[in-house]
Structure 1
Amino acid sequence: MAYMTRLPLEGTFNTRELGGYPTISGITNWQTFLRSDDLFSMTSKDIAYLENYGVQTIIDLRSEDEVKKRPCPSLQSIDYKNLPLITGNIPDATKLPPGESYSMGEFYLSCLQHGSDRIKVVLDCIAESEGCTLFHCAAGKDRTGIIAALLLGLAEVGREDIIANYQTTHTYLQANPVFSQPQIAGFPIEMLYSSPDYIACVLDYLMTHYYSVTHYLTEIGVSETTVKTIAERFVRSNELV
Structure 2
Amino acid sequence: MTRKLAFDGIENFRDFGDYAAGSKRLKQGVLYRSAHQAEASDADLESMRALGLTVIVDLRRPNERRRSPSRRWQGFAAEVIENDVGDEHDDPWHDFLRTSDLSAQAFHDYMVDYYREAPFVGRHVDLYSRYFQALARTDGAVLIHCAAGKDRTGILAALTHHLAGVHEDDIVSDYLLTNDPQRFERRIPLMRAVIKENTGRETSDEALIAALGVETRYLETAFAAIHAEHPSLDDYMEKVLGVDAAARAVIEAKILA
Alignment TM-score, normalising by the size of structure 1 = 0.82
> In structure 1, what is the Cα distance between the partners aligned to 2:197 and 2:159?
28
Whichever residue aligns with residue 143 of structure 2, its letter is: L
> In structure 2, what is the Cα distance between the partners aligned to 1:178 and 1:74?
23
Select between 41-50 and 121-130 the one with higher mean Cα deviation: 121-130
Q: Choose the corresponding residue for 2:62, options 64, 70, 92.
A: 64
1:220 is displaced (CA, Å) by: 0.7
1:202 is displaced (CA, Å) by: 2.3
Cα gap change, 1:104/1:74 in structure 2, threshold over 3 Å: closer, same or farther?
same
Partner of 1:192: 212
1:96 is displaced (CA, Å) by: 10
Q: Choose the corresponding residue for 1:159, options 164, 168, 174.
A: 168
How many positions carry a matched residue from both structures?
Answer: 234
Partner of 1:239: none
Select between 94-103 and 170-179 the one with higher mean Cα deviation: 94-103
Q: Choose the corresponding residue for 1:113, options 105, 109, 120.
A: 120
Partner of 1:140: 149
> In structure 2, what is the Cα distance between the partners aligned to 1:25 and 1:96?
49
Is the contact made by 2:59 and 2:127 (CA closer than 8 Å) also made in structure 1?
no
Is the contact made by 2:81 and 2:127 (CA closer than 8 Å) also made in structure 1?
no
1:48 is displaced (CA, Å) by: 1.7
Cα gap change, 1:118/1:20 in structure 2, threshold over 3 Å: closer, same or farther?
closer
Q: What does residue range 7-156 of structure 1 map to in structure 2 within 5 Å?
A: 7-75=5-73, 76-84=75-83, 87=86, 88-91=90-93, 94=96, 102-115=109-122, 116-156=125-165
Alignment TM-score, normalising by the size of structure 2 = 0.78
> In structure 2, what is the Cα distance between the partners aligned to 1:214 and 1:165?
20
Select between 141-150 and 91-100 the one with higher mean Cα deviation: 91-100
> In structure 2, what is the Cα distance between the partners aligned to 1:8 and 1:98?
34
CA deviations on 1:77-127 (whole Å, 9 max, x unpaired) are 341424249742142574798899524233122111233344223322333
Between Structure 1 and Structure 2, the one with more helix by share is 2
1:13 is displaced (CA, Å) by: 2.3
Q: Which runs of 5+ in 1 are unaligned?
A: 237-241
Q: What is the aligned-residue identity percentage?
A: 22
> In structure 1, what is the Cα distance between the partners aligned to 2:4 and 2:197?
25
> In structure 2, what is the Cα distance between the partners aligned to 1:23 and 1:211?
22
> In structure 2, what is the Cα distance between the partners aligned to 1:91 and 1:185?
14
Q: Choose the corresponding residue for 2:240, options 213, 217, 220.
A: 220
Select between 210-219 and 147-156 the one with higher mean Cα deviation: 210-219
Q: Which runs of 5+ in 2 are unaligned?
A: 200-206
1:6 is displaced (CA, Å) by: 0.8
